[in-house]
C-alpha cells in the first residue's frame, strides 16, 4: 500500500512538472474590438444551441466553439464587429464538406470549425470581407506544413485548423488582412508557451491554437486585429471561466479557445 501511495505521489509530481494535466487554454487580447463576452457550456450540442439563442438575440455572436472534457463550450462576443451567423453541423466529414461548399456558394464564410462527440460544427457568416475560402484535409500531421505553404503560394491565408475523425482540416481564405503567417508545432505545453512568447517578441499574434495527438499546433500572423495578447490556462473548466472573468475586468477578451494536455 505504501509503495502504491509513493508511486501515486511520484506520478503527481511528474505530471505537475511536465504540464501533463488536461488544461483549458485561452488566448486573450486587449485590443480586439470586442466589448463584452459570455462563456456558455452544455453537455449536449443541442442544449448549447438553445443557450446560444437568447444571447444571439442580444447582439452577441459565436466567436469560438470548443469541445473538451465531455462538454461543448461557446464563446459569445459583442463589439465592433457585428456578425449574422449560421451554425451548420454533420456527423461525418464527407457530409459536412458538402454543406461547407454549399455555404460558400451562398456567400457565407467559415468563422470557426470544431469537432466533438462525432460531430463537425461550423459557424458561418456572410459579413466577413473575404473573397474565397478553400479547405484541405489530411491524416498525416507531417504533411500540414507542406499544405500550408502550398496555400500561401496560391495567395491564401490559413484561418482555421481542426482535428476530427483522425484527420486534420485546414481552412484557407483569400481577402484576409493577415500578413506574414507562420506555422509552429510543439510537443508540450511548456514548449508551446515558449513559442508564443518568442513570436510575440517578433511582433506576431497568435490566431489559432489547436491540440490533438500529443501536439500543440499554432498559427501566427501580423495585422490580425488581436493585439496585446496573453495566454491563460487552468486545469479545471470552472477555474478557467473564473480567470476569464477576471481578465475581462482588465480589458482582455478571448480570441481563441483551446484544450489539451
Residue-range definition of the domain harbouring residue 136: 37-260
- pTM, to two decimals: 0.90
Residue 13 placed within a domain: no
Give the model's confidence band at 232: pLDDT under 50 very low, under 70 low, under 90 confident, else very high: very high
Report how far residue 188's alpha carbon sits from residue 168's, in angstroms, rounded to the nearest whole number.
19
What pLDDT score does 12 carry? 41
**25: its cell numbers:** 487554454
Residue 28 placed within a domain: no
Residue 225 placed within a domain: yes
Alpha carbon separation from 162 to 74, 216, 226 (Å, rounded) = 16, 12, 20
| Tens of pLDDT, residues 189-201 | 999 999 999 999 9
Residue 72 placed within a domain: yes
Average pLDDT over residues 38-55: 97
Give the model's confidence band at 90: pLDDT under 50 very low, under 70 low, under 90 confident, else very high: very high
As for how many domains the chain has, the answer is: 1
* DSSP run (H or E) holding 199: helix 189-201
Residue 185 placed within a domain: yes
Residue 172 placed within a domain: yes
Residue 93 placed within a domain: yes
**11: its cell numbers:** 506520478
Average pLDDT over residues 49-61: 95
Alpha carbon separation from 155 to 158, 177, 204 (Å, rounded) = 10, 12, 19
What pLDDT score does 20 carry? 62
| Phi, psi torsion values for 26, nearest 5 degrees | -120, 135
Residue 2 placed within a domain: no
Amino acid at each position: 500500500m505504501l509503495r502504491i501511495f509513493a508511486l501515486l505521489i511520484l506520478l503527481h509530481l511528474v505530471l505537475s512538472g511536465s504540464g501533463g494535466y488536461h488544461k483549458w487554454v485561452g488566448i486573450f487580447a486587449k485590443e480586439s474590438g470586442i466589448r463584452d463576452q459570455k462563456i456558455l457550456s452544455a453537455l449536449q450540442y443541442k442544449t448549447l444551441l438553445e443557450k446560444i439563442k437568447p444571447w444571439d438575440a442580444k447582439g452577441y455572436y459565436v466567436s469560438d466553439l470548443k469541445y473538451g472534457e465531455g462538454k461543448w463550450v461557446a464563446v459569445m462576443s459583442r463589439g465592433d464587429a457585428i456578425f449574422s451567423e449560421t451554425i451548420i453541423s454533420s456527423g461525418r466529414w464527407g457530409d459536412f464538406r458538402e454543406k461547407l461548399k454549399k455555404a460558400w456558394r451562398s456567400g457565407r464564410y467559415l468563422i470557426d470549425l470544431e469537432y466533438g462527440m462525432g460531430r463537425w460544427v461550423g459557424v458561418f457568416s456572410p459579413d466577413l470581407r473575404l473573397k474565397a475560402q478553400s479547405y484541405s484535409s489530411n491524416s498525416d500531421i507531417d504533411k500540414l506544413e507542406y499544405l500550408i505553404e502550398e496555400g500561401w503560394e496560391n495567395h491564401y491565408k490559413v484561418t482555421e485548423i481542426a482535428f476530427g475523425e483522425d484527420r486534420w482540416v485546414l481552412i484557407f481564405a483569400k481577402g484576409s488582412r493577415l500578413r506574414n503567417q507562420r506555422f509552429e508545432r510543439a510537443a508540450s505545453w511548456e514548449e508551446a508557451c515558449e513559442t508564443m512568447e518568442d513570436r510575440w517578441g517578433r511582433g506576431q499574434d497568435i490566431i489559432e491554437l489547436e491540440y490533438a495527438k500529443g501536439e500543440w499546433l499554432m498559427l501566427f500572423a501580423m495585422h490580425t486585429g488581436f493585439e496585446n495578447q496573453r495566454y491563460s490556462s487552468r486545469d479545471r473548466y470552472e477555474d478557467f471561466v473564473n480567470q476569464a472573468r477576471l481578465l475581462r475586468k482588465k480589458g482582455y477578451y478571448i480570441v481563441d479557445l483551446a484544450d489539451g494536455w
